A and B are shown apart, each in its own frame.
Chain A
Amino acid sequence: MVEEAGIPTLCMTSALDITQAVKPPRAVFLNFPLGHQTGKPNNRELQRAIVRDALRAFETIRTPGEIIKLPYVWDPNDSSWEQFDYTKEWAKNMPPRPARDEADGMEAARRSRFSKPRP
């Protein structure tokens, strides 16, 4: 939609099957676990390499719908994360109580560490 409005777009992805169905104009695929699209926590060099490579795709992708695959490997010695069954483990890894509606989201903001105490 943004592309149709005249602004070139680039999507990153770790879900190749979904991206192949959606067919965004430009896509960069990285085979990392969900929640790590641009790298590992506090690993600045890896994050820089991933983002730098992704941005390059703005200039190198010439065919609409092209998906570039980045070469980075999550763990060269252990690919067991790919067998991780999200449907069974989902609840254990999710935040304890995601907000259920808008009022809940406002309340969660008030309870956050950023909220000023009421006078």
Chain B
Amino acid sequence: MPIDYIPRTRELYGDYAPYRWVVNETVPWTPLQKPLSQCRIALISSGGIVYRDQPRFHREDASYRRIPKQARPEELDVWHFGYPTADAKKDPNCVFPLERLREFEREGVIGELCDPAFSFMGGIYSSRKVREELAPQIADELKRAHVDAFYLVPA
């Protein structure tokens, strides 16, 4: 049975004012314009992945990191308070499948993996910060990089 995360998150933030959950009524839609094998795909993780000595995330941090496409697993670190990170530290591909996507690029499953990949820390209390700061900055970078599809992996 899938776990109910909404009640558990309520308990984590028990000291705060009652949370105003984002509940969307409508769904935006852009159809895929070409087959996946011809698409440039961008990867983003909310798992708090950082590359080498990039600043680590802090609570309510709405910044993001650019992770070089060729980064090796031993060059990545994980910094997040909201999930057990031991396995992600052992093998970042559990939450940030960079190596798997490089393989799929070589094999022609996807056209190209966007360089860089992106990462942020998903435990951001303020949905306003995400809506007004983080998301528009990312959307802007993706448009400038002529990305055809955007693949979001939470942790």
Contacts and interface: CB of A to CB of B under 8 A. Distances in A.
Contacts of B94: 35-41, 47
- Interface size class for chain B? 35 or more
A3 B8 CA distance: 29
Interface in A94-118: 94-95, 98-102, 104-106, 108-110, 112, 114-116
SS of B interface (majority): loop
Interface residues of A, number: 70
Contact of A90 (B12, B77, B151): B12
Contact of A51 (B11, B29, B104): B104
Given A4-B28, A105-B58, A52 B104 contact: yes
Given A7-B147, A47-B93, A94-B85, 15 more contacts: A9-B152, A21-B21, A21-B22, A35-B84, A36-B95, A37-B47, A42-B91, A47-B100, A51-B97, A51-B100, A52-B104, A58-B149, A99-B79, A109-B53, A114-B53
